[in-house]
Amino acid sequence: MPRQIVFIMTDTTRKDMLGCYGDARMKTPNLDSLAQAGIRYNAAYDCQPVCGPARSALFTGTFPHSNGVVSNNVPLGLNVKTLGQRLSDQGIKAAYTGKWHLDGGDYFGLGICPEGWDPEAWYDMHNYLEELSDKDRMRSRKSETAYDESWSEDMTYAHRVSNKAMSYLEKHEEEDFFLVVSYDEPHGPCICPAPFNTMYDGFSFDDNPAFHDNLKTKPLLQRLWAGSDLEKSSEELRKSSKMLSLFLGCNSFVDYEIGRVLDQIQKVAPDAMVIFTSDHGDMLGFHHLQAKNAAFYQEITNIPLLIKPATSNERNQGVVVDYPASHIDITPTVLDFFNLPIPKLLEGKSMLAQIDNPEIRINDHVFCEFTRYEVDHDGFGGLQMMRSITDGRWKLTINLMDIDELYDLESDPHEVVNRIGDDSCRDIRNRLHDLLVEHMDETRDVYRGYQWVARPWRSDRVPTWQNSGLTRQRENEEYEPRQWDYDTGLPMEEAVRGKKLYDVKH
């Protein structure tokens, strides 16, 4: 029997935009059925709530600070290998159709299939626009086009991505493969045909404490980001709008398109593992904020993650996992599924044991980051340096140039009460802080330094010039020769070792 994985993702889908996560008003029957057939993760997190960086972690198994894609419009380095390269080099077919966002081009990509992926299946947004006339290209970028009866389902990017995926599945049903199906929807301009374009007219979110957060104990960045919305009432923030209706409608439309692919999987590859997730969410007025930016609120980082196992049993059908999960674990999980070794370079771990038995806990805590946002924009706050850790209940965020945040997700699930200065939380806060700094060291975070240690609430930890005092060289021996030791000029014996400190006295 062939070993097959279909990895499906959308852009800007919040966890609560799927009906299976609790809001029956969300019409996502196909993804809800997928959840019933497998595992639904409640505490899954992206590695950075921005399109490109989030995808870089998904498809390299390394954090953005390691692979270099710390912002949109920044390409992967030539020595950074993607999952497609690692699989195809081992004789496993790898195909990718849909939004890529990792070639350093503009929003739509360069239209060129990257190394390791099947060119026949490749179909980024640049390729899509090339199929359209100049007039239709412009129409494809306007939300009003969703109400144009002449813009039918088959004109949408989602439909054509689905077609590509379905064709690939039919052609390769007898072979081992890893297929990525990556939709731009429901990301703006949110074009979707009837009945989806009006399906959510009149919709408003239920009131909750996040709509009443005045941000007074939060970083200045958030208040600047909120702008005039900071003065709006909960009713104003939640009230129905054409754009919210269209966004949610587009979300149901992409569920419909995913359903077409799931039907094809059931027809030609019923034993394939199927994984669904999103790169990040959208604030949608919660905490008086819109879109996504340098924050780690649940609305933009706690993404949906559904996995239908290739081998089903009573333990892994229709179950919910509350343990922390992370996008960083996807690449090692896929490699493990195909019985391939997991390289030292990867910064996550395989979830395969948990997929077989959801009672197994893989992560005690997971990490998220934000390094900067602006390459081709002049707004959105500019440079921001942030790192976050959560154990599933507590979440600590270090805002390097501002005040930090600590939330108890059990007593304060909407993250309104910042407890960073609460002495009753000192032990858990400091433990998470130690783990976060240790993680920055272990992953060779290029932005690490004493500033992450020297926080105003951490008087018991003294920063030093040497930090950990260690040298940490890159271990990527699958594709590169062993790096040479600076002190000997010979291949290093240990990648992590004490740094020789020279006496500079005269």
The DSSP code for 11 is E
- For residues 225, 398, 100 and 255, what is the CA-based torsion angle, rounded to 10 degrees? -70
Catalytic residues: 51, 101
Instruction: For residue range 34-43, list pLDDT tens digits in order.
Output: 999 999 999 9
* Contacts for 341-348: CB closer than 8 Å, 24+ residues apart: 343/61, 343/86, 343/476, 343/477, 343/478, 344/475, 344/476, 344/477, 345/61, 345/62, 345/474, 345/475, 345/476, 345/478, 346/61, 346/62, 347/61, 347/62, 347/63, 347/66, 347/443, 348/61
Q: Bridge-partner residues for 370, per DSSP?
A: 386
Residues in the chain: 506
Six token digits for residue 432: 């998470």
**Residue 147: is its pLDDT beyond 70?**
yes
In this prediction the pTM is 0.96
Sign, CA dihedral 263-268-270-275, equals negative
What mean pLDDT comes out for the span 197-201?
Answer: 97
The DSSP code for 302 is B
- Residue 461 has a pLDDT of 92
Q: Which CATH architecture has domain 4-370?
A: 3-Layer(aba) Sandwich (3.40)
Reference 354, options 305, 316, 410, 383; nearest CA is 316
**Residue 377: is its pLDDT beyond 80?**
no
Instruction: For residue range 398-444, list pLDDT tens digits in order.
Output: 999 999 999 999 999 999 999 999 999 999 999 999 999 999 999 99
Q: Which amino acid is at 202?
A: G
Instruction: Please list the residue range(s) of the chain that carry CATH number 3.40.720.10.
Output: 4-370
What mean pLDDT comes out for the span 440-466?
Answer: 94
Backbone angles phi, psi at 229, to 5 degrees: -65, -20
Rounded to whole angstroms, the Cα distance separating 156 from 146 reads 10
The DSSP code for 106 is S
Instruction: Please list the residue range(s) of the chain that carry CATH number 3.30.1120.
Output: 386-468
Answer yes or no: are the C-beta atoms of 108 and 124 closer than 8 Å: yes
Please state whether beta strands 177-186 and 4-11 pair in parallel, antiparallel, or not at all (unpaired): parallel
CATH entry, 386-468, from 3.30.1120, 1.20.1690, 1.10.3470, 1.10.10: 3.30.1120
- Residue 505 has a pLDDT of 53
Residue keyed to tokens 């497609």: 84
What mean pLDDT comes out for the span 139-150?
Answer: 97
